[in-house]
Amino acid sequence: MHRRRACGLVLASLLGAAGSARALAPPAGPVVLEVRGRVRTPNVEAAACFDMAMLAGLPQVGFTTRTPWFAQPRHFSGPLLRDVLAAAGAQGTRLRLQALNDYRVDMPWDDAQRHDPIVARLLDGAPMAVRDKGPLFVIYPFDDRPELRSAVYYNRSAWQLRLIDVA
């Protein structure tokens, strides 16, 4: 009986270690993005909070695209939105994006999975200032998929992103 209990304790500690390996570390720097709502791996109270280094630590992608907000095509780079949601352990059907200026827009969960929008943290290779639509900008690869070049998807592209509420 004692041996079985000891094995159970070892197994529990291994499972605990494995579970904590998937946990989202707390932010070390200023929080630039909060994901709340249906989040399974919160790191600050009930939310998954990210600093810029945490977002930079996720796999990065980039693309050059034309937008209604800039005269010339620009290069955006950062993690895929779906990777940010996965890091937060988020699961839902709707995302409400909120900007620093309180602009809010709803995005279907499926957009993050099908259309590859990114949480851009760099514009033409440099961090974005708030006056340049930063520090974070959810942007779709408009030039890669012609169906995205419409008011529906332009409106879902939230610059100065600060919060994603998952429902």
pLDDT tens digits along 122-144: 999 999 999 989 999 999 999 99
Q: What is the mean pLDDT of residues 44-49?
A: 96
Give the domains, in start order, of the chain with CATH numbers: 26-166 (3.90.420.10)
Other CB atoms within 10 Å distance of the CB of residue 42? 18
> Measured between alpha carbons, how far is 150 from 50 in angstroms, rounded to an integer?
30
Q: What is the mean pLDDT of residues 61-72?
A: 97
**82 Cβ contact list (under 8 Å, min separation 6):** 112, 113, 116
Q: Are 43 and 23 in contact (CB under 8 A)?
A: yes
> Measured between alpha carbons, how far is 32 from 135 in angstroms, rounded to an integer?
8
Tokens coding 138: 């959810």
User: How much is the pLDDT for 21?
Assistant: 37
Q: What is the pTM of this model?
A: 0.86
Band (51; pLDDT cuts 50, 70, 90): very high
Q: Are 125 and 77 in contact (CB under 8 A)?
A: yes
Q: What is the mean pLDDT of residues 29-39?
A: 98
User: How much is the pLDDT for 10?
Assistant: 32
Q: What is the mean pLDDT of residues 83-111?
A: 97
Tokens 């988020």 sit on residue: 90
Angle at the Cα of 20 from the Cα atoms of 60 and 6, rounded to 5 degrees = 150
